[in-house]
Amino acid sequence: MAKRPLKLQFRIPPYEPPRNEWREKIHRAATERLGGVVYEATDRLEIAVGLYFKLGA
């Protein structure tokens, strides 16, 4: 039996106020990349976050 896809990778949009609209953009970005990924209540979650900074900022 093949493993089901569990990896979801997407880039969080840059912060722009108001905060709630920015959070909605994050949700949209995640759901657009979701594809066939389905999580169950028993799945263990690991989150890896990469931070990108502009030089000289």
Angle at 8 between CA 20 and CA 17, to 5 degrees: 15
Taking only the tens place, the pLDDT of each residue in 3-54 is 888 888 999 999 999 999 999 999 999 999 988 888 899 999 888 888 888 8
Report the distance separating Cα 36 and Cα 48, nearest Å.
Answer: 20
Give me the pLDDT at residue 57, please.
56
**Token digits of residue 43:** 């799945």
Q: How far is CA 20 from its chain centroid?
A: 16
What does pTM read for this prediction? 0.71
Quick one: tokens of 41? 């209540």
Residue 8's closest CA among 49, 56, 52? 49
Please check whether residue 51 is in contact with residue 22, taking contact to mean a CB–CB distance below 8 angstroms: no
